[in-house]
Chains A and B, each alone.
Chain A
Amino acid sequence: MASILSHRRGPFGLVSSFIGWGAAEGLTAESDADERPLHAGYGLNASLGLLAVAFAANASRNGNAWAIDIFYVGVAWLFLPLAYVAARRDASPRQRFAAVMLATVALYAVRFIREPVAFIDHDEFLHWTTANHILDSGRLFSPNALLPVSPLYPGLETVATAIVSLSGMTMFQVATCLLAACRLGFVAALFLAYRRLSGSARVAACGSLVYMGSSTFLVFDTQFSYESLAVLFVAAVILADARSRDVRRTSHVVFVIVPLLAALAVTHHMTAYFASAYLFGLAVLEAFRAPPRRFLVSSILVAAWAVSAPIAWSKAMGDPEAGYLGPVLASGVHEAANLLTFSTGRTLFVSENGYVAPLWQRVAALASVAIVCLGLSVGFFRALALGGLPFGRELIRRPGRLREWRNGSAILLTLLTLAYPVSMLFRLTKSGWEIGNRIGPFSFVGVGFVIAVGVVSLMQGRGVAWAGAFATAATVVLVGGIISAEGPRILVPAKFEVSSDSASISHLGIEAAKWSRRWLGERNLFAADRINRLLLSTYGRQDVASTLQDGYDTSDAVLAPTFGPRERELLRKVGLDYLAVDLRITTALPGVGGYFDGGDRDRDYRSPPLANSLLKFDTQPLVGKVFDDGYVFIYDVRALDGTR
């Protein structure tokens, strides 16, 4: 470090050297001709890491508390050597690419080991329901009460049902293959785009590895959920745009970028808006840069298409995300504003049901944030310089150079990192936590690039110790990202946990849902808690009542201490056929804050609901109890409606 800063004098000189103020524009070029492949031993090491992860997963299912620690050790074990070889000065571009792709495959295998036989994550059930509706009806856009916006953005489900129809495989098998293709395609596109933008395979490799520290990388963006597909489209658009500036711009725009943006518009709203903002920003940068502006017209046309396609689709679908995202965004912004005045906030590392993360996990999560911030401070101005926007004496001497950037994409990715602190702010709030989590995958596109530029600039001409330091830091960022998103819930526990999504999917609940399909038929309208309605709508093929769909919160009737006219009227209005009651929710506080939809009655619990509240249906003369497995009861409430 001392040698890096040695050519500057004084505190300002040291700081400006560290942050890259006035850094040179380029990085050392690498030869594409170097074709040395990656040593097969790295594959063997990764497989041993996976073995440790599988051991941890089974240990967790058997109730061993140390399983989580072994899991993270396994992840670090498989990742660290690959990060090291990808960052080494003497590695060939082929070795770097292979190391990044091997890390991607291994981390996807971690996801598979986590859920090897069936879907377990909440959002997967939502989209599985939409896909089932498409398969059952042979039509798109069938309503989905669990997530009404899902059928209106059917990109993922369309592809999945196409493969199911063609292959005869189950939805889980198809999802596993499809998501593997999306994940590999996404990381490959990111690597290749970084390489195009920086001209360095080393930057590309380091940037891709840093991106894997995004909190959504390991689990959320490999779920059977629309964002998992949408991020592939975005990365492909960034790659195609970068590529088109070197070769065949028109063909890329017409045959690649426009179709990808169209598909993105019908796949995921938030990602489509991110792509709109990115391409709009590129057009603005192109318009303001000093001549020659070779790509001005095409950039404006692409930006216009990128902005108009998602808006037009949203309007055509009835503007569904306003009611879906609007309240979350408003609440998150409100809480973030309160947070800035120290009025309110989320207690970090403490789950809704009171679980406190172990010390080492808290340290790792905070260290990962610190490393990212350090990396951004090192890389920000260097990345701007790489884009042709040098700060320092050159800028002071010739202010006109401020508009002479060559690489608008690099500059935009650098500016994108400003979203990272915003996402951190949102993550400190209760309502905005999800917003912060969702900003992550987009801000990290810039974060990966900027940190990689900064790190590679520092590492140029230096020994393997620097590569080792980078690999260690990248591993901490990866582990910290997983902890901040999943924490102790990364593995399925031995015991059922109340309203804790993947920890609440049990054989018992699945059997009850399957029973409903077999004995009651499909498409009956059920009311149930958050977990059982996921199972009923997928394994059971039932319709479920939800506040999102019809505005009625059936938890008011289910959790009420008595069953009076108000509760009866509520069930009558909803038009329920059956009611599924799970007595297990009386045993603990909800892991995600609510047992049902998180309505007025269903939040801020200090104790679990009373069993008597759930059993009040036993005394209703017109209510039949058609199913009992000791925990889950299914009540037939059709006769409560006097008209039926």
Chain B
Amino acid sequence: MTSDGRAMVASLAKAKDLLFTINDDLSTKDSDAVLWSAEMSLALIRDAVKQGQFIVAHYDNGEEARSVALSSILRAMDLCRVARKKLFWWERQKVVQQISIEIARAQEVMRRVDFYLIPHPDR
């Protein structure tokens, strides 16, 4: 495996771990700092999911799974930005709940991810 390949696998594995810790953080405290850090972590996960190559059980192909995970991650990031606006308590509660739902959707896909690397066609 090339060093690029190893880095890709490592970043996808890190992304999976991060997805599971964001929800824990959000469920215990929903301060602006936690939301900010959640958005930054989601950005890392987004980049890893965009670059990585993976196959996922129960999906026809990796691209479909990638698109499902990406759309939930992007939406969760969007909601983290919304959550930092001045909101009433019931809106804040709702937005954090929505972020958790989107992260759970991404988790569901990522939980089934198997990392693999396609050999370069010229090698």
A joins B in a complex: no
Report which A residues bind B (CB closer than 8 A): none
Report which B residues bind A (CB closer than 8 A): none
